[in-house]
Chain A
Amino acid sequence: MRSLPIILAPDDIRRAVARIAHEIVERDRDLPALSLVGIRARGDLIAARLQQAIRVNEGVDLPLGSLDITLYRDDLTRIGHAPVVRESVIPFSVDDRIVVLVDDVLFTGRTIRAAMDALVDYGRPRAIRLAVLIDRGHRELPIRADYVGKNVPTAVADDVRVQLVEAGGTDEVELVHARVAV
C-alpha cells in the first residue's frame, strides 16, 4: 500500500486556523457583530478552534453555533436512505449579525448552499462569510470561500480526508487518489 500524500500536518492546520482567525477580524472589525457557525460534523470543531484563536488574539468570545444541514440537502431521493439528523445549536440571534460559516472541505458547494438556506431560517444575518480549511475545487454552484486554509488541486474522484484530534484522530489532512482508494 502506497503511503498517502499528507496535505496538512498538525502544525499546518494550527497555522491555517491562526491565520484565518486574524483574517476574519481584519475584514470585519465590528467584533460584537461577528459570530461563528460550524457545519456538522467537523466544521463545528474547526469553528471552535477559530473561536479559541480569536479569544487569545482579541480577548473576545465570539458566539459559536453548530449547524446540521441534513434537512436541507438536495439528494435525499438519490442516496436511498435517510441520513441521521443531528441537532443544530444556534444559541444566539443571527439577526443583523455577521455569520462566518465554517466547514472543513469546500467541494461542490452544495453543502454550503444547504447551510445558507438553514441559516436564514434562524433570521436575517447582516452578512454570511465562508471559512474552509481546504478548498479542493470542482464547484457545481456559484459559491466561493472568503477564508481558505489551503487550496488543493484534486480530481473529482479523489477523496480529501480530514482528521481532527477532537474527533478521535490526529490532526491531519490526506489526499487519497481515486486509484489508491479502497
Chain B
Amino acid sequence: MTWHRRHVLSTDDWSRAEIDLVLDTTSAMVEVLGRPIRRTPVLRGRTVILFFAEASTRTRVSFELAAKALSADVTNITASGSSVEKGETLLDTVRTLTALGGDVIVMRHPASGAPYFVADRTDAAVINAGDGWHAHPTQGLLDAYTLRAALGDLSGRRIVIVGDITHSRVARSDIDALVPLGATVTLSGPPTLVPSAWRCGMTPRGTTYEPDLDRALDGADAVIALRLQTERQHAGLLPSIREYAHTWGLTEERVARMRPDAPVLHPGPMNEGVEIAASVAHGARSLIERQVTNGVAVRMALLYLLAGTPEQRE
C-alpha cells in the first residue's frame, strides 16, 4: 500500500489499509522515541506551521514534539496575539502562512469544516488538529493505536464511548478509526447529549446506542470517556455536574463490569471526579498517559507520510 493523500482532514473516508499503514508506521515511530537520541533527520529543511485558533496544550505540544523528532522546523501561531485578533480573515491568514513557506499546516479551529476551506486554498499539506464538533483525526488514530497495542487485533472487540457524543469530534474520529479495524462501538451518554437520529437507532455503521452505561460496559473490551464540557450545563442540557458524575462517571465499580484488565482511555484534559474517578484515571487499567506518548508517534507517522506525497508542492 502506498500513501497518496495530500491532507489529513478527517478519517471518515479512510480504508482499512490506510489506517493499518498509519498504525504500522506509528509502531516504528514509537521505537524511535525510545532511542537515546529521539530524533531522525527525515524532515530536515521542511517547515511545519502550527495554527491553533482554539485552546490546546497536549495536541499542540504533541505536534511540536513530533515535528522536531523528525527534524522539521516548527512555527507556532495562535489566534490570540496574532493578526487574527486584528480582524484578519481565515483566507488571508492562510495566504500568509502559505507565502511564508509552510510545507505542512497543522490547524485547530472552532468552525467545523475550516480545514477543508484551508486545504483548498494552499499548496501546503493540511492536518486537522480538531475542527468544531466535526473531527479530530489524529486523536482517533492514536486511540486506535493505543487500543491495538493493548488488545491486539481489534476485530470483534467492543469499545464503549461514553459522554457528550453530540459535541464530540473525538467520538466521531474514534468511530471512523475503530470501525474499519473490525471493532464495534457502543455509544452511551445522556440522551440530551446524543444526536437525536442516533438515539432513534440510526447510528453510524458499526455502532449502537445504549442509554444504560452499566449495560454498555458489561463485558466490554475497553472504554473511552469523553471530556464533559461543563458549559453544557448552562445550556440546559444537564441538570447538574453532580448528577452527570453520578449517572455517567466512570467509577471503579463500573469499570469492573468490563472484561478483566479492559483498559480505560480519555482524550484529556480530564475533569476528575466528573466523567472519570481519580482512582480510575490513575489506576491499573488506565492507558491515559500511554495515549499522550502514542500521540506524538502517530503525528510523526502522519507528518512523515505527508512529506513524501509527490504533488504536494508543484
How big is the B interface, by class? Answer: 20 to 34
Does B78 lie at the interface of the complex (its beta carbon under 8 Å from any beta carbon of A)?
no
Is B93 located at the chain interface by the 8 A CB criterion?
Answer: no
Contact, CB under 8 Å: B307 / A87: no
Do the beta carbons of B42 and A72 come within 8 Å of each other? yes
29 contacts between A and B (CB under 8 A): A70-B42, A71-B40, A71-B70, A72-B40, A72-B41, A79-B308, A80-B310, A81-B308, A81-B309, A81-B310, A82-B305, A82-B306, A82-B307, A83-B308, A85-B25, A85-B29, A85-B301, A86-B28, A87-B27, A87-B28, A88-B28, A88-B32, A117-B41, A118-B40, A121-B35, A121-B37, A121-B39, A122-B37, A123-B36
Q: Does B253 contact A (CB under 8 A)?
A: no
Cα distance A121–B37 in the bound complex, in angstroms? 5
Does A76 interact with chain B (Cβ within 8 Å)? yes
> Which partner residue on chain B sits nearest A95 by CB separation?
B36
Please report which residues of chain B, range 253-285, place their CB below 8 angstroms from some CB of chain A when the two chains form the complex: none
Proximity bits, B284-314, A CB within 8 Å = 1, else 0: 0000000000000000010011111110000
Task: Please name 20 further chain A to chain B contacts, defined as beta carbons within 8 Å, in addition to the given A72-B42, A76-B42, A122-B35, sorted by A numbering.
Answer: A70-B42, A71-B32, A71-B40, A71-B70, A71-B304, A80-B308, A81-B2, A81-B3, A81-B4, A82-B306, A82-B309, A85-B25, A85-B29, A88-B28, A88-B31, A120-B37, A121-B37, A121-B40, A122-B36, A123-B36
Chain B residue at smallest Cβ distance from A121: B37
Taking beta carbons and an 8 Å cutoff, which residues of B are in contact with A? 1-4, 21, 24-25, 27-29, 31-32, 35-37, 39-42, 70, 301, 304-310
Task: Select which of B21, B25, B307 is within 8 A of A76 by beta carbon.
Answer: B307
Residue ID in chain B nearest A89 by CB atoms:
B31
In the complex, the answer to whether A82 meets B39 with C-beta atoms within 8 Å is no
Q: Say what secondary structure dominates the interface of chain A.
A: loop
A-side interface residues, number (CB < 8 Å) = 23
Which residues of chain B have C-beta atoms less than 8 A from A121's C-beta? 35-37, 39-40
Q: Are A82 and B28 in contact (CB under 8 A)?
A: no
Chain A, 55-99, contact with B by CB distance < 8 Å: what is the 0/1 string? Answer: 000000000000010111100100111111111110000000000
Interface residues of A in 93-110 (CB under 8 A from B): none
